[in-house]
Amino acid sequence: MKKIILIFTMMISAFSIFANDSVITYGSEQVSVDYSENDIRIVKENLDIFLYEDFYKVCVEYEYFNKGAKKIIQLGFPIKYASTAGMDEKNTYINEFEFSQIFNGKNIPVKNTFDDLQKNENYVIEGVYWINREVEFSEGKNVSKIEYTAPYSRSGFFVRFEYIINSAACWNNNIDVLNIKIHNDNKVVISKDWQIGQYNISNFPENYYFSGTSFEFSFADVNPTDFDSVHFSVESFALGDNPDFYFDFANGWFWDHIYFYKNESDVVLWTKEQLQMFIDSFAKHHFILNKIERENRNYLKKLMKRFYE
């Protein structure tokens, strides 16, 4: 018991959020989101999220429409951070972040970066690291493609992904079409109270398509402020053929073939292979199933039929 307590005491926290590209104004000591843009709106946003074991990649394509004249816009991509692990840990994280942009077919260089340190006291640091660019919007249609790779956000035992939609409120009007596609090659499982905008297990999106290793959602007339974000926790999928002895120290429950989830939302966004593995495990490990095992197996079979058959 003393060893477990020591592990919890020594855990450090680090958390960061990645957000939509934003219209900004900045000076020598501050960067802020500019909500005065009245000509340019997002017609379509295609968001692809690729999940790997230790990092993720986001590819997002924006189709803008500028109803006004050609203009130059200052864009900022904010990385929010909070950490109790010190400035060096934060700097290491920022240095692992890779970012690129193609706008109307042209590579856009980073003009400058700005570290807005907002809190540095009592072993806690908080702030926003801005990646700033200068982009010329033509009249009518404009297309921006952004790609970035980063390690997951971590807080103690928890590993999270989050993509902020609400910062798109700096553009004129709602987003006409928002397409989200989550790719998972079975290196991780998506669990722990996932949220896609206003939607979760009790309010599941209507327009979806699940393939073996990807989940697609489509939304129309999206209010960025109301939609807010896409976020979920991930855990390593290293269970192999014997999931009996996996233990989740953070939640204090055994993730075996009987109690391997606490809430329905923990397993809805599992891939076909992950669901099938646990369905098969019931028959493999028990000749006669008890009530809880039967309920879990039957629930997984319903999910499999709903999404993949």
Domain end point (choices 217, 236, 255): 236
Beta bridge partners of 112: 132
Q: Are 66 and 142 in contact (CB under 8 A)?
A: yes
**Which regions of the chain are under pLDDT 70?**
1-19, 28, 155-158, 192, 237-265, 281-290
Range of the domain at 71: 12-236
Residues 108 and 26 in one domain: yes
Residues 271-294 pLDDT 10s: 888 888 777 766 665 556 667 777
Domain end point (choices 185, 206, 236): 236
pLDDT of the residue at 138:
98
pLDDT of the residue at 86:
74
Q: Domain of 168: which CATH number?
A: 2.60.40.3680
Residues 172 and 288 in one domain: no
What are the DSSP calls for 115-148, one per residue? EEEEEEETTEEEEEEEEEEEEEEPSEEEEEEEEE
4 located within any domain: no
Give this prediction's pTM.
0.84
Residues 104 and 147 in one domain: yes
SS3 37: coil
Residues 142-163 pLDDT 10s: 999 999 998 887 766 667 888 8
Given CA atoms 15, 20, 21, 24 in this order, what sign does their dihedral have? negative
Overall domain count for the chain: 2
Residues 259 and 157 in one domain: no
Residues 252 and 231 in one domain: no
pLDDT of the residue at 155:
64
Domain end point (choices 236, 255, 284): 236
Q: 152: Cβ–Cβ under 8 A, 6 or more apart, which residues?
A: 54, 55, 56, 159, 160, 161, 234
